[in-house]
Structure 1
């Protein structure tokens, strides 16, 4: 997807180099995928081009571009902006603007995912990149490509290798060693090179990133030896005090060598033993993660919690209520979909609503759950910031109420529940659950 701001159109066969007079402005042209826009170094101005675009001071235009890139990423904005006129092309080619780049999938032609072209691309354009997504690249030369990235992208803070194959512990160690600012790593849906590597091989990686890792994604992972990574994370590491996100969601995340799930309460507790800054925890599908393990997490301000399919959603325990009481003041998003433990779920929802007007809750997913109308009402009436509520397939609710509510629909639902409660001068009883909420 990355398009050098001076890339030729797709039908251009020759690879030319345009030398800009501005220092640090590289303009190498590489053919890209046809579904992406590419750069034409020629002036694209027309009679319809207004003067304000061409007369803006370069520093002002660069500031505007920087704001847009921070909000939406560099691609495809800088690619399109560079086609407007010479001025915009020159500004869009400034390396310091290219700090958030998404090259995932097939956005860069397969023929250019080799050592020579990758080195040229990164050294000419992406020396200032801080966030890089190269997920779903199908490579044979994994080591060469990672070496090219490490050589040119010393400012890199976030790297997504989601969906990579042939990724080995040695590759991870190399990346951790040669990217000193790397703190966010996405290894979801990765598959290793098939070699079984002792857990000790991961020790150096963990030691290097212990005090700078803030985001770790291992969801939906079939990497050979993943259990060894978990063991290394939970046993060999002294902890991750700056960790803000841990995503280990997977409904089939099992070690092939044994029938025991590779993530359990002990692993969670050891990984997060010093993670007081944790903001996001996703343990969906981890059926050995219980309420007892989550309650012991040292973080007190978790904002996003995803529990669908884990042990908590399958056993009738009181721990869900304790979890919600611990974090009800900070939770912004909660996923309790397909939880079928009536009493525990209702107690948890009521505890979630106990924070009242101070509640930060905005998104609640109860799809397929057994939540009662009484518990849902407590959340809707007491959580003023709620703007997304999924009640699809909730078996304890009336048919007209089983859907997703957003924005103004929640306000209407809140009004109906409040009016019904006031007219009856008492809480809604179980017998009144058949009331239709069809608009």
Structure 2
């Protein structure tokens, strides 16, 4: 009875222990459900006293030893690591265990507003230090200039496709349409040794269509390399979304048909250059393309083959400036090789030394019976005998002047100009023999024959600049040719002063005739 009364007075919730009871020390102290904290055990009398702990002193990072004539400084290996000084260990507080009827409270998280929300990428960008964000802080114009230099060196594809995945700024810079004016697309989706599945083919078409719609609006030069399938699809897509397309180059491609070429002719009105070298194409489709849209093509390249004779037969104008044509050993001409039967104009002008000879010219024009314009400016190795053998009887324009300044390749003297007047004098409308080294006598005979065989209204232009023409040889031609509207007598040393100039009308030419008398 005494023990229980004593515990009730001191313990939980009793009326007698108002000051020390309640929910203080009494509620969960000695009485009720709580357990009292054990008092510290008293030290026995006469026991050993516990040693007081001494604070650890950090060791120096070096030791000094004295030698005979010097002091040695020796670093400790443990001092090289950071944080080698001893620090007190933090006490870990164990979590209180939950009672049976107690539940763990969850922290309530208030949802953030939309303005406060940030994407993961934005948070990562905010965490980046300033030195790692230089690519995102560049002005877009500077980045476009850098990309432009790399595009010129390495090409737009796949460089621009890769850098557009770096960040939003690089993506915006790579999307600049001026960077996509010259594009070369290679076959880089699959391994070369493996075939192309339908799934891969559809993926290629989707990617190519997306590029054409979003990047190729200012495309001018397009190159397609090593495509064995879907070449017509690529040509149709490019012609649809690229109104400024000027040049198309198909290198080592197969399966080019008339539908792809026809789409280029119908939609790409600015197309001027077509390169089909080392590619397999449908000859009939190319012929139809040239017949319908050949007027806009200024340059066409393709590999020579006996299957391409139909293409040669459809060419009416052949112009190649400043190229070096050399003779090549040729096999015997077969029946299929017809040359250029419909050729109307052949221009092979050169401003420097030319390797074109009579035999090379005849091998090219052996079947060109309809030729009207022949431009051989700069061809110093061509002779009058070689020109007289050409199969074109009704030549109207002959440009045979020498305009380059180098003296390499000039023959000493050329002769027999009258052979050309006999062959083409009745039909010749324009004649240019600038700087040709004919003699005075040869020029006089040739021009006298021209005045006899030609009609008065046939010759329209005559260029004798730099030749040895004399006033006696010039007078019959000027009197006879009443339709002559251009006469060039500059740098003619055998003519009197005041006459050596260019005459651009019939009135000026009549004044010249009066001065010659």
What's the TM-score, normalizing by structure 1?
A: 0.52
Residue 240 (structure 1) aligned with residue 240 (structure 2): no
Match of 1:321 among 412, 418, 443: 418
Residue 394 (structure 1) aligned with residue 517 (structure 2): no
Query: Aligned in 2, Cα 1:284/1:159: closer, same or farther, shift over 3 Å?
Result: farther
Query: Aligned in 2, Cα 1:289/1:409: closer, same or farther, shift over 3 Å?
Result: same
| 3-state SS of 2:359 partner | helix
Residue 211 (structure 1) aligned with residue 313 (structure 2): yes
CA distance in 2, matches of 1:291, 1:160: 38
Query: Aligned in 2, Cα 1:175/1:334: closer, same or farther, shift over 3 Å?
Result: farther
Residue 363 (structure 1) aligned with residue 461 (structure 2): yes
- Matched with 2:399 is 306
What does the per-residue CA deviation read over 1:126-174, in whole Å, with 9 as the maximum and x for residues that have no partner? 9xxxxxx98xx68888789x99972414579x99857x9xx56336x74
| 3-state SS of 1:401 partner | coil
CA distance in 1, matches of 2:322, 2:314: 24
| 3-state SS of 2:313 partner | coil
CA distance in 2, matches of 1:186, 1:287: 31
Query: Aligned in 2, Cα 1:227/1:186: closer, same or farther, shift over 3 Å?
Result: farther
Query: Aligned in 2, Cα 1:305/1:209: closer, same or farther, shift over 3 Å?
Result: same
| 3-state SS of 1:305 partner | strand
Residue 220 (structure 1) aligned with residue 317 (structure 2): no
CA distance in 2, matches of 1:327, 1:138: 38
**1:124 to partner: Cα distance:** 8.2
Query: Aligned in 2, Cα 1:119/1:290: closer, same or farther, shift over 3 Å?
Result: same
CA distance in 1, matches of 2:409, 2:482: 27
> Number of matched residues?
282
Give yes or no for contact 2:415–2:439 (8 Å, CA) kept in 1: no
Residue 179 (structure 1) aligned with residue 281 (structure 2): no
Query: Aligned in 2, Cα 1:301/1:112: closer, same or farther, shift over 3 Å?
Result: closer
**1:356 to partner: Cα distance:** 4.7
Give yes or no for contact 1:377–1:417 (8 Å, CA) kept in 2: no
Q: Which runs of 5+ in 2 are unaligned?
A: 1-175, 179-215, 224-232
CA distance in 2, matches of 1:221, 1:175: 28
- Matched with 1:170 is 278
Instruction: Name the structure where helix makes up a greater proportion of residues.
Output: 1
| 3-state SS of 2:398 partner | strand
Q: CA RMSD in A?
A: 4.6
CA distance in 2, matches of 1:386, 1:233: 45
Query: Aligned in 2, Cα 1:250/1:185: closer, same or farther, shift over 3 Å?
Result: farther
Query: Aligned in 2, Cα 1:175/1:313: closer, same or farther, shift over 3 Å?
Result: farther
- Matched with 2:11 is none
- Matched with 1:275 is 368
CA distance in 2, matches of 1:386, 1:273: 32
Query: Aligned in 2, Cα 1:307/1:411: closer, same or farther, shift over 3 Å?
Result: closer
CA distance in 1, matches of 2:471, 2:482: 18
Q: Which runs of 5+ in 1 are unaligned?
A: 1-30, 34-107, 127-132, 255-260, 421-439
Give yes or no for contact 1:328–1:359 (8 Å, CA) kept in 2: no
Q: Higher Cα Rg: structure 1 or 2?
A: 2
Of structures 1 and 2, the one scoring higher in RCO (CA 8 A, sep 6+) is 1
CA distance in 1, matches of 2:382, 2:350: 12
What's the TM-score, normalizing by structure 2?
A: 0.45
| 3-state SS of 2:459 partner | coil
Match of 1:347 among 427, 442, 445: 445
CA distance in 2, matches of 1:373, 1:216: 37
What does the per-residue CA deviation read over 1:73-95, in whole Å, with 9 as the maximum and x for residues that have no partner? xxxxxxxxxxxxxxxxxxxxxxx
Query: Aligned in 2, Cα 1:401/1:270: closer, same or farther, shift over 3 Å?
Result: same
Give yes or no for contact 1:214–1:242 (8 Å, CA) kept in 2: yes
CA distance in 1, matches of 2:379, 2:447: 21
CA distance in 1, matches of 2:332, 2:467: 32
Query: 5 Å matches for 1:68-217?
Result: 111-114=219-222, 119=236, 122-123=239-240, 150-153=261-264, 167=275, 169-170=277-278, 174=281, 178-181=285-288, 182=290, 201-204=303-306, 206-217=308-319
Give yes or no for contact 1:315–1:341 (8 Å, CA) kept in 2: no
CA distance in 2, matches of 1:124, 1:110: 9
Give yes or no for contact 2:457–2:482 (8 Å, CA) kept in 1: yes
**1:347 to partner: Cα distance:** 2.6
